[in-house]
Amino acid sequence: MDALDRAIINNLQGGFPICAEPYHEVASQLGTTAEELLRRLDALLESGTLSRFGPMYHAERLGGGLTLAAMQVPPEDFERVAAIVNAFPEVAHNYAREHALNMWFVLATETPERIDQVIAAIERDTGYPVHNMPKQDEFFVGLRFEA
Partner 1 sequence: MTPRPATAMRPDYTEPLLDSIDRQIIVATQAGLPRVTHPYHAIATQLGLAAEDVMHRLRRMLETGIIRRIGAVPNHYALGYKANGMSVWDVPDERVHELGEKIGALDSVSHCYHRPRHLPAWPYNLFAMVHGRDRDEVEAKVRTIADLLGMAERGHTVLYSTRILKKTGLRLGG
According to CB under 8 A, which residues from 86 to 115 bind partner 1?
86, 91-101, 103-106, 108, 110
Please report how close the Cβ of residue 101 comes to partner 1 at its closest, in angstroms.
Answer: 7
CA distance 34 to 133: 44
Taking CB under 8 A as the rule, does residue 43 contact partner 1? no
> Is residue 85 packed enough to be buried (19+ CB in 10 Å), middle (13-18) or exposed (0-12)?
buried
Cβ partners under 8 Å of residue 29, min gap 6: 11
Q: How far is the CB of 142 from partner 1 (least distance, A)?
A: 4
Binding residue count for partner 1, defined by CB under 8 A = 79
* Rounded alpha-carbon distances, angstroms, from residue 34 to 48, 52, 89, 125: 21, 18, 37, 51
Q: 65 to 84, contacts with partner 1 by CB under 8 A?
A: 66, 68, 70, 72, 82
CB-based contacts of 90: which residues, under 8 Å, 6+ apart? 107, 108, 109, 114, 118
Q: Which of 29, 38, 80, 123 is close enough to bind partner 1 by CB under 8 A?
A: 38
**Cβ at position 59, least distance to partner 1 in Å:** 5
Does 41 bind partner 1 (CB under 8 A)? Our answer is: yes
In whole angstroms, how close is the CB of 144 to partner 1 at the nearest point?
Answer: 7
